[in-house]
């Protein structure tokens, strides 16, 4: 099905008749990401595809942005995402997957209006653009300390030694967590990564649940301690705004109101610990391959924010997330039936040449309007300001140190089959820059 065949009168889209993602070589994860983008954006490529489990896959930039804003395109509510696990917690407590479901139900990402905007305000009041901007000096100080502790001239894992500790300590500072607990929370968030696979292996469930319980214990415990202590403005603000929400739980569509500030923080900061660390690592991965860009940034540090955005356009942490049509969605010349799961491929939209000419080229001067790295519409990622700040501070610190960064090998460390572009590790070598 080409774009030309869809240029007729509006018609009901037959999702089951579409070619599959597999037909175009997509198997999830970063390994198949760029080759898939080249295939679907080649002349005569498809407009829509379907996943192996029957979801409509949307990936063209214009379609991704328009459908993200469609009012009848909802996020997956807790009971839809975790069928049969949350209706009776007493019965489900020991079942595989319950620990993850009971954590993620507290995320605003699993809620729809009117609850979603209410929960979003709770978080953005603390980590919106203005409050996050005040964290820049502290974040740079953490980055500088971590960078100074890395060895020179020998391979070091940037994920485990820098990205995760940076993000862990960023959130830990807001929660009054000891550094070791904060970094441990980031590690446990990473250990939950197999739940983000397109086809999670049943044998992995026990490890995912164990990581979810450990992560939740650390973050929720820190939130509860900080609130009880009474001198943590970040947690106090969360608790105050959360208590003002008077909306009934609706696990099947509207979402779930977290019952404590600690539960809210544990649910919503999972992405804060996990995806933000990916943003830091993926940014360095891109720049380490392009020493000329780092050299340009040394001369023009005012372009660092653009460099981070362009890096994450090329290597976005999130490839895709699913949505659900709650009514027929009429868009352009097609009608998407009600009750269809829609795989919105945010990362692929960033590779559409119709929006970003020569999309695989790093262009420090490319306009960044319309990038879909952090989603779009009513469910755009509220943690995007923290992720961007952390990546920016990382680049600023690397430049200020005068160090050169290069990849230690060409070996592939991307996690396979995931909805994310995630590096299990990122071996790099730091060297002292030659005198000029």
User: Whole-structure pTM over 0.75, yes or no?
Assistant: yes
H helix intervals, 9-97: 29-40, 61-68, 78-81, 89-92
Residue bearing the bigger pLDDT, 89 or 260: 260
Average pLDDT on 326-340 reads: 94
* pLDDT tens profile 372-422: 999 999 999 999 999 999 999 999 999 999 999 999 998 989 999 999 999
User: 122-150: buried (b, 16+ CB within 10 Å) or exposed (e) per residue?
Assistant: bbbebbeeebbeebeeebbebbbebbeeb
pLDDT recorded at residue 9: 67
What does the alpha-carbon distance between residue 44 and residue 1 come to, in Å, rounded to a whole number? 8
> For residue 436, what pLDDT is reported?
46
Residue 245 confidence (pLDDT): 98
Strands 48-50 and 403-407: unpaired
Burial (0-12, 13-18, 19+ Cβ within 10 Å), 19: middle
Model pLDDT for residues 114-151, shown as the tens digit of each residue: 999 999 999 999 999 999 999 999 999 999 999 999 99
Domain 78-318+379-432 architecture = Orthogonal Bundle (1.10)
Examine the pLDDT at 4 and tell me if it is beyond 60. Answer: no
Mean pLDDT of 323-347: 95
Residue 209 has pLDDT above 80, yes or no: yes
Residue 239 pLDDT level (bands cut at 50, 70, 90): very high
- Per-residue pLDDT, averaged over 241-249, amounts to 98
- Helix then strand then coil, % of the chain, to nearest 5: 50, 10, 35
């Amino acid at each position: 099905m080409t774009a030309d065949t869809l240029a007729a009168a509006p018609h009901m889209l037959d999702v089951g008749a579409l070619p599959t993602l597999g037909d175009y070589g997509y198997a999830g994860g970063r390994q198949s990401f760029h080759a898939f983008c080249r295939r679907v954006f080649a002349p005569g490529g498809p407009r829509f595809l379907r996943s192996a489990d029957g979801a409509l896959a949307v990936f063209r930039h214009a379609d991704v942005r328009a459908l993200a804003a469609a009012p009848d395109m909802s996020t997956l509510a807790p009971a839809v995402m975790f069928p049969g696990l949350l209706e009776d917690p007493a019965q489900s407590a020991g079942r595989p997957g319950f620990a993850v479901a009971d954590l993620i139900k507290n995320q605003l990402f699993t809620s729809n209006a009117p609850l979603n905007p209410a929960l979003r305000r709770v978080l953005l009041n603390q980590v919106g653009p203005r409050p996050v901007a005040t964290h820049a000096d502290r974040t740079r100080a953490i980055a500088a300390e971590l960078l100074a502790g890395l060895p020179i001239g020998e391979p070091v894992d940037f994920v485990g030694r820098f990205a995760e500790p940076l993000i862990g300590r960023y959130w830990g500072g807001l929660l009054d967590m000891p550094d070791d607990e904060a970094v441990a929370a980031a590690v446990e968030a990473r250990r939950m990564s197999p739940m983000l696979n397109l086809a999670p292996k049943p044998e992995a469930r026990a490890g995912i649940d164990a990581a979810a319980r450990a992560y939740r214990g650390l973050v929720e415990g820190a939130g509860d301690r900080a609130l009880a202590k009474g001198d943590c403005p970040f947690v106090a603000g969360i608790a105050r705004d959360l208590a003002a929400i008077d909306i009934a739980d609706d696990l099947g569509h509207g979402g779930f109101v977290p019952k404590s500030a600690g539960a809210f923080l544990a649910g919503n900061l999972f992405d804060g610990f996990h995806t933000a660390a990916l943003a830091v690592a993926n940014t360095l991965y891109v720049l380490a391959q392009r020493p000329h860009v780092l050299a340009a940034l040394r001369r023009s540090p005012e372009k660092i924010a653009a460099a981070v955005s362009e890096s994450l356009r090329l290597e976005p942490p999130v490839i895709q997330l699913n949505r659900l049509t709650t009514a027929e969605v009429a868009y352009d010349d097609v009608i998407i039936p009600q009750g269809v799961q829609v795989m919105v491929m945010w990362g692929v939209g960033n590779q559409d040449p119709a929006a970003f000419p020569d999309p695989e080229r790093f262009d420090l001067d490319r306009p960044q309007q319309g990038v879909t790295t952090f989603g779009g519409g009513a469910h755009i990622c509220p943690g995007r300001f923290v992720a961007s700040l952390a990546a920016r501070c990382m680049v600023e610190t690397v430049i200020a140190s005068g160090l050169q960064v290069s990849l230690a090998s060409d070996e592939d460390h991307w996690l396979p089959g995931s909805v994310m572009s995630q590096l299990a590790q990122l071996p790099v070598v730091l060297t002292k820059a030659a005198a000029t």
